[in-house]
Amino acid sequence: MSATFRLDRLLANMGYGSRREVQQRVRAGAVVLDGAVVTEADMKIVVTPDLPARLFIESAAIDPPPGLALMLHKPVGVTCSHKESGALVYELLPGRWRRREPTISTVGRLDKESSGLLLLTDDGALLHRIISPKHHVAKSYVATLARPLQGDEGARFAAGTLMLDGEDKPLAPAVFEPLSPTSARLIVTEGRYHQVRRMFAAVGNHVNALHRDRIGALALPADLAPGDYRLMTPADIAAVFA
């Protein structure tokens, strides 16, 4: 079911300015819907995904309406958390998107030194479906290690008994695949703090570089450069849960 909003509220919530500023833009004839200049700022708009093809402000298509989901190639050095120092992943998005309501949040986190596929959405229900342990969404990481693999990592990660330092609940079984003497893929379904780095620490190794290349069956697109993002299609969202 599609939500209906007053035009001025919708545009204000999408970061186009205060309600008053949006009303001024409507009065100035800057807003066009379905080819006709809009005269009433309080007209009701049914929010559908095709709105950017129909609604223009100063001749530019409006941003994706609420209910957006993005995939972003997080570069090393940017952070997902306001608690860490440094540039935030949100700074990789258009400035207007940082004023949106509902706000756009990351779906889980990648730590500052890790790179790869990061999802963002303003859809709270979608966010919870992806991060909820109930759905067991698998996250695939490629770890570059400081020391050679010992050969027992696969069994230890699969056991369902491995404990992380400072925790009292064993990790769920994880899938391990060696890629070279000092690199491996690890597929986990949980999302504990710095989980992959701490898993390798628990088996006596150290992660020098960590890259997430897949969430569910959704792979980081090869043509999505570090720092770039794109809108997720319904098929991309379905792939997360496949």
Q: Give the catalytic positions in this structure.
A: 111
The region that residue 67 occupies, defined by phi over 0 for left and psi between -120 and 50 for alpha, beta otherwise, is left
- Map the footprint of ligand URA across residues 206-225, applying CB under 6 A: 210
Contact string 73-112 vs ligand URA (x = CB under 6 A): -------------------------------------xx-
For ligand URA, give the closer residue by CB, 162 or 210: 210
Interface residue with ligand URA among 195, 214, 216, 232 (CB under 6 A) is: 195
Cis upstream peptide for 102 (omega within 30°): yes
> Binding segment for ligand URA among 37-45, 86-94, 188-196, 234-242 (CB under 6 A)?
188-196
Tokens of 69: 């989901």
Euclidean distance between the first and the last CA atom of the chain, given in angstroms as a whole number: 24
What burial letters (b/e) apply to 166-202, b meaning 16+ CB within 10 Å? Answer: eeeeebeebebeeeeeeebbbebeeeeeebbbbbbeb
Q: CA 193 from chain center: how many Å? A: 17
> Counting every residue, how long is the chain?
242
Binding segment for ligand URA among 21-29, 82-90, 193-201, 219-227 (CB under 6 A)?
193-201
* Least separation in angstroms between CB 212 and ligand URA: 6
Q: What are 39's two structure tokens?
A: 């005269």
The least distance separating ligand URA from the CB of residue 133, rounded to whole angstroms, comes to: 15
Choose the binding region for ligand URA from 56-64, 151-159, 195-203, 215-223 (rule: CB under 6 A): 195-203
Shortest gap between Cβ of 104 and ligand URA (angstroms)? 19
Q: Which stretch binds ligand URA (CB under 6 A): 41-49, 129-137, 194-202, 232-240?
A: 194-202
Q: Which residue matches tokens 């720092």? A: 227
Q: Which residue's CB is nearer to ligand URA, number 65 or number 116?
A: 116
Contact of 38 with 92, CB cutoff 8 Å: no
Identify which of residues 111 and 213 has a Cβ nearer to ligand URA in the complex: 111
Q: Give yes or no for residue 194 binding ligand URA (CB under 6 A).
A: yes
The DSSP bridge partners found for residue 71 are 119, 230
Longest dimension (CA), the chain: 70
CA distances from 17 to 61, 67, 225 (A): 16, 19, 31
Binding of ligand URA by 19 (CB under 6 A): no
Q: How many CB atoms lie within 10 A of CB 161?
A: 9
State which of residues 114, 121, 140, 205 lies at the interface with ligand URA (CB under 6 A): 114
Q: Which residues sit at the interface with ligand URA, rule CB under 6 A?
A: 110-111, 114, 194-197, 210
